[in-house]
Amino acid sequence: MWEHSKAPGSWYDYDMEFLIGTYTDDSNSRGVYQIKQDGQGNSLTCQPVSELINPSFLVRHPHHPLAYVVCEIGSDPGSQLVGLMRSPSGIWQRFFERPTLSLDSCHVELSKDARVLVVSHYSSGSFSLLRLDADGMPCSEWYFVDHRTLYHKIRDGVGRHHARQQAAHVHAAHFIDDRRFVVCDLGTDQVVLYALEGAEVLSAERLGIWQLPAETGPRHAVIDFNNAQLFVVAELSNEVFQLDLNRPDPGGVMRIGSCLPPDTEGFSEAAEIYLDSTHSALWVSNRGVDSIVRIGLLGQERGRRQGFRVGPHPRHFWMDEGALMVASRDDNQVVFTTRDSRGMPEWERATSVEIPAPVCVLPID
């Protein structure tokens, strides 16, 4: 069942800037693009700002006009981490480039105190940590954690037969606070809890593991604002799970349910997840059954799904209390719309801009 929100809501001004990551392989993309809202929600303007190869995920610095970009490259010499700096005139320029020494770096996140970057490497099955100074510049060497050992411990287990689970595949890492973070490994069906260690030399200590059911493929996660629960989207099984952050073991895993629209069939792979705390709901994007789905979390609404059709291959989306922006890779469109008082997208007010193969949306202001 597909639904479209038509309820009246407040149309208020948006005056924002976004950076858009893209896939440059097999497209005419020029790398990272900048989108600006006109302040009335009526139009979007777009221009390329940095020519990079497959800049597939971006994160911003909370105190400086900086963005960090991972360039997803699956062949030697491997992927890159690139820093972009915005000048007072609004021009974005590179201020450092550093090879990740790994293949297909697909996600980057910054610690809550903005002192450590964690980069996830899909094909290498690893993640790496990089310390930053007070100005946001790298000030250490990479510290690597390889998940191949975790994979070898379970590879002969029942269910280890999915075509995309023949190795460890670290897909994302998310900080809980200044010290603790979780790592989603699609290849092992595990979410692993770590803590940063070391004052001089950076390292990571493994604190526990949530083992998800076989062939689920955890991809991305969001943490509730009380730091008590973790919500994980499983790419291969198209499900959402709730993990107890105080119990990092298999007993701390609870299945919420499917993240696909009701009454739909066909191949699909879940992608991004967002927690809407105001309206007690999760939002998930699905590729194949191309959709954004709202999943209720409380009472009789828990697990109830509402599906909204979007463009093909919505790999990533951004949402706040009043707006939604969806990047649809395969129709080269980024769509912006507001949300009504119930938190539903106001599709009749949507506007869009054409960008080749968009895969990541990063708000700047």
Which pLDDT tens digit goes with each residue over 61-116? 999 999 999 999 988 889 999 999 999 998 999 999 999 999 999 999 999 999 99
198 Cβ contact partners less than 8 Å away, ≥ 6 residues apart: none
Q: What is the pLDDT of residues 103-151, one digit of tens each?
A: 999 999 999 999 999 999 999 999 999 999 999 999 999 999 999 999 9
Say if CB 29 and CB 22 are below 8 A apart. yes
Rounded Cα distance between 196 and 17, Å, is 32
Length of the chain (residues): 365
Whole-model pTM: value is 0.93
| Integer Cα distance of 172 and 219 in angstroms | 7
| R_g over Cα of the chain | 20
Domains of the chain: which residue ranges?
A: 17-363
So what's the pLDDT on residue 8? 35
Average model confidence (pLDDT) across the chain: 92
Tens digits of residue pLDDT in 35-70: 987 666 556 788 999 999 999 999 999 999 999 999
CATH for the stretch 17-363: 2.130.10.10
Q: According to the model, what pLDDT value does residue 3 have? A: 41
Which residues, including other chains, have CB under 8 Å from residue 88's CB and lie 6 or more apart? Answer: none
37, exposed or middle or buried, with CB in 10 Å at 0-12, 13-18, 19+? Answer: buried
Question: What pLDDT, on a 0 to 100 scale, did the predictor assign at position 6?
Answer: 35
Residues 6 or more apart whose Cβ sits within 8 Å of residue 110: 59, 60, 61, 62, 68, 116, 117, 175
> 200: pLDDT confidence band, cut at 50, 70 and 90?
confident
Contact 32, 81 (CB under 8 A): no
CA 348 and chain centroid, separation? 27
Q: Are 328 and 286 in contact (CB under 8 A)?
A: no
In the chain, pLDDT over 70 holds for what percent of residues?
93
**Whether pLDDT at 343 is above 60:** yes
Rounded mean pLDDT, 276-282: 95
pLDDT of residue 5: 38
CA–CA–CA angle 142, 148, 154 (5° rounding): 150
Q: What are phi and psi of 349, to 5 degrees?
A: -105, 5
